Structure 1
Amino acid sequence: MTSPTHRTFRTFRIGQIVPSSNVTMETEVPAILRSRQSLVPDEGFTFHSSRMRMTHVTPEQLKAMDADSDRCAVELSDARVDVLGYACLVAIMSMGLGYHRAAQERLHLRTAENGGPAPVVTSAGALVHGLHTLGARKIVLLAPYMRPLTRTVVDYLGHEGIEVLDHTALEIPDNLDVAAHDPARLPGLARALEYAEADAVVLSACVQMPSLTAIEEAEQLLGKPVVSAAVCTAHQMLRALDLEAVAPGAGHLLSGAYARAPLPQ
């Protein structure tokens, strides 16, 4: 009689570079990846963070914070993380069009120089890639930022071939207040947008504004694929690890339809 074969349990270390006032990315990404374990019980994750100082979402604080990301990458590579996520979308986008590519390359280099090379995912680049993966050329979005920074996000996505048909800036300047925004409000706010011609809806163009618990409700309400920056980051992290990007309760992008989507070139 042949004994059944068993896969060895594998644990992956997830590193995140987060703003000092961010309290959401260390809850939503773990929640997504842990929900995946119900489908793939022989793969698990541990979570590790390094923080950059930022309390108010202003161009000045974002620029100063980004300059600190190299230190964080080195610290996380000390732990030999398997993938590293830069968890501030607007910090990347405010540094110039296409900046996520330069940031990913630079931070990966820092990990390699420290003897712990790891792929780097930025939430900004992940949102772009997630929308391209869905084939979304036209979108609507919600963002917590002040109007000028929200316009930066809109312009950044436009440069990447994604037209924002309509958007709402909630104008919440304090980052802890962003985290306190009730995600149950988001589907209704999204419904007020002109989304009929959109290919997808971005329920939160910010990794600090909670939205995970509202993603699937919004999809049912709007009849469109709904993503967030956090959902897209989790999807790209899994693909960077060469794992199937699937997780229940996180919307269409992580439904399994794009489980083996290629990474951006």
Structure 2
Amino acid sequence: MNIRVPETTASSIGRDSQPTRIGLIVPSSNTTMETELPELFRRQTEATGQLYTFHSARAGMKNVTREELDAMVGKAADCAKAVSDADVEVIAYACLVAVMAQGTGAHRHSEQIIAQAAENNGHPAGVVSSAGALVRTLTALKAKKVTMVTPYMRPLTQMVRDYIASEGFDVLDAVALEVPDNLAVGRLNPANLPEIARELENNGADAIILSACVQMPSLASIQRVEDELGLPVISAATATTFEILSKLGHTPAIKGAGRLLSGDVKPAL
């Protein structure tokens, strides 16, 4: 029996002809980043023709407690090694509060650990953390004073508030929805967010963080709140998307997700 080898083989197909591969490290109970990010990138594809695929590694975390958050952070390097096996171009570490719970400036250390793990595995990649993306995006928006909504219990919400403040921002007001179960956070209705946003003390604010959590759905309400209140509105998911595109050198062209992803905002240096 003859076996024919085609002239164009897998080894001869260049990486440029393939979709851009994006790696995600998410909590095991996360249900939102793997829905909101693909939807955002679908809109990017619709506008630009550039294709993207997502490849995830999961770290155990069911309840948003300090103990489980610390345990998840300890698994970051192993997750980065696993997801880098897919030869992804960017790895997004998608658990904002787990990183911020490690102390001031922790996103920088976490990003270094993940980048080193991928490089040591023979597949170097750009690295974004949702925690780092959030604060750097506020800089890109030239925002100094912000308000925010979180699903966390009040102590964790205060911790996130302090972390953002340590990066040079003034958090004028914060709402804590106090939902400790991470699956329950993913079931929160984003249609409730416009009313919650109206109740924030937004006078003097430069931007609104409508979801300071990668698990709390918000995409469906971001444009609505931005149009109604006249302030830039971001979320952990849109900030992460902005930085992934920046790492790839792709200009955002996403409709219906706020000014940040419209293409008008330049990445922070």
TM-score normalised by length of structure 1: 0.94
Match of 1:150 among 157, 161, 172: 157
Q: 1:16 corresponds to which residue? A: 24
Given that residues 63 and 91 in structure 1 are in contact (C-alpha distance below 8 angstroms), is that contact kept between their aligned partners in structure 2?
Answer: yes
- 1:222 shift after superposition: 1.1
Aligned counterpart in structure 1 of residue 84 of structure 2, from 74, 77, 100: 77
The alpha-carbon deviation at position 34 of structure 1 amounts to 0.9
* Corresponding letter in the other structure for 1:164: V
Does 1:218 find its partner at 2:225? Answer: yes
Partner of 1:27: 35
| 2:156 is the counterpart of 1:128 | no
Unaligned residue ranges in structure 2 (runs of 5+): 1-15
Aligned to 1:39: 47
Corresponding residue of 1:174: 181
Q: Deviations over 1:22-63 (max 9, x none)?
A: 00000011110110111101x100110000000000000000
- Structure 2 residue 75 is matched with structure 1 residue 68: yes
How many angstroms apart in 1 are the aligned matches of 2:253 and 2:74?
Answer: 33
Whether contact under 8 Å (1:239, 1:263) holds in the other structure is: no
What one-letter code is carried by the residue in structure 2 that aligns with 1:64?
A: A
Amino acid at match of 1:119: G
Q: Does 1:104 align with 2:107?
A: no
After superposing on structure 2, the runs of 4+ consecutive aligned residues of structure 1 that deviate more than 3 Å are none
Question: 2: distance between equivalents of 1:245 and 1:230?
Answer: 14
Residue by residue over 1:170-207, the C-alpha shift from the partner in whole angstroms, topping out at 9 and shown as x without a partner, is 00000011000000000110100100210000000001
Higher Cα radius of gyration: 2
Deviations 1:144-181 (A, max 9, x none): 00000000110000010111000100000000110000
Asked if the contact 1:122–1:233 (Cα under 8 Å) also holds between the matched residues in 2, the reply is: yes
**What is the root-mean-square deviation of aligned Cα atoms in Å?**
1.0
Counterpart-to-counterpart distance in 1, 2:195 and 2:135: 24
Q: Do 1:127 and 1:233's aligned partners in 2 also have CA atoms closer than 8 Å?
A: yes
Aligned counterparts of 1:133 and 1:161: Cα–Cα separation in 2: 13
Q: TM-score, normalised by structure 2?
A: 0.93
Identity of aligned residues (%): 50
1:137 maps to 2:144: yes
